[in-house]
Structures are given as C-alpha cells and as structure tokens.
Amino acid sequence: MSFALVLSHEGPEVVPADELAALRSVLADVPALEEALIFTPATATDLYVDDGAAPPLVVQLHFGRLERLEAAAGRKGALQALSSALPSQAGARATAQAFWRREYPVDDNVLQTPPGALPCSYVVHYPGPARDLNAWLDHYMTGHPPLFRRFPGIRGIEILTRVDWVSHLPHAKADHMQRNRVMFDGPEALTAALQSPVRHELRADFHSFPPFEGGNAHYPMWTEHLRP
C-alpha cells in the first residue's frame, strides 16, 4: 500500500508525443517517487455504461509517505515543472487529489501485453458524497474486489480513498470520495471482461450500495508504467 497523487487534465486537446516525453523527464526527477502511471484515452465497450470521452491525460504518482508526496507538490516541488512540460493543457481544467492506495490480489498479475503495446485500465471515480461514507466504503471494499478478481484476464485491482493533504500545485483540489482501477493486457481483454457474466454481478452489487450522490464515471485508458 502507498499514497497516490492523481493529476487529471481535462482539456479538449490530445497530448502530443513530445509533451509526453517532457512529462516523463519531469517525473524522472521527482524525489522519492516510487512509480508513475500515465493514462491516455483508449476504447472499450461496457455492457452498462458509456461515459463519453476520457480525459486526455491522467497521471498517478505513488509515494511511500505522505510528506514525500506533499514535498513534490510543494511551492518548490519538482511537480511545479509540469505546467511548462504540457503547454497543450494550458487553460484546461486540471485537478489534483491525494489518496491512500489499496491493492487487491488477482490470480495472475503477469501482463501479457504484446511488445511495444500498453496495458489498458478501467479507471472509475465516485465524486460523492455518500450519506454514510464509512458504510459506503465498507460495502464497496468488501463486495467489489472479490467480483473484480473473477473478471477473465484481470491483472490488477486497486482502490483509492481520499486523505487530507497540502498542495501548492496550480491544479484545483478535487475531493472525490473514491477512485478505483482494474487493469488488463489491452482494450480487447478489458472489453471481454466487461461483456462477461461478472459484469452483471457487479451491476447488481452497485444497486445495493448504501445511498450516495454524484454518480460515477468510467474510462478505458492506456496505462504506461514508469519506475524512476
């Protein structure tokens, strides 16, 4: 388990390859960063939902301690360089949120993505609020991961829950009550899972959630892993 900083850029522009290269360079210089995930839009088909276009860029950064995350997001932190690395996102809505990250077991976590290709994640967030957040999270974390694990071809499961934190990034602070992600070898494997009988069971569990507002959003996204 670790802390995760999620940066979401929600502008209309596709991020050019040279800016992604600049982003990788910035992330390579972030002290104490244990892992970085770069998410860009992919395509998959869900039996139940279609939430439209995914954000052009989401970055998820993993740190072993919260103060190291806050240092990276500080007034003189390494992440201040993101703005100059991503000029296509200037003026776009950008948000940041820190989370506690929980990983759950899968039966086979070895990716079988073809050389030169990226795995695909289904990234979901629940803005909230819930009438009783403790009850909502307890229901979700008890019921959903065992069902996720039964998806054919699943390679990873994580749930992020919010924490209080200090930021001096230009990104607006988000306050989603939860994010979660399941990962597969590629969009075809994700689509196969979302068309499987397990998807019906997840939908049934969704309808039994304790009361909450804000809906949710689901996005298939290519997932690039960086380990500085």
What single-letter DSSP state applies at residue 212? B
Q: How far apart are CA 75 and CA 56, in angstroms?
A: 26
First and final C-alpha spacing in the chain: 18
pLDDT of residue 212: 98
Backbone φ and ψ for 22, nearest 5 degrees, come out as -65, -40
Which of 104, 120, 102 minimizes the C-alpha distance to 179? 102
What single-letter DSSP state applies at residue 177? S
And the tokens for 199?
């998807």
Average pLDDT over residues 187-195: 98
Backbone φ and ψ for 150, nearest 5 degrees, come out as -85, -5
pLDDT in tens, 4-55: 999 999 877 789 999 999 999 999 999 999 999 999 999 999 999 999 999 9
Average pLDDT over residues 151-175: 97
High-pLDDT (> 90) share of the chain, %? 94
Are 93 and 11 contacting, i.e. CB atoms less than 8 angstroms apart?
Answer: yes
pLDDT of 91 over the 90 cut: no
Q: Which domains does the chain have, with CATH numbers?
A: 2-226 (3.30.70.100)
Q: How far apart are CA 38 and CA 224, in angstroms?
A: 5
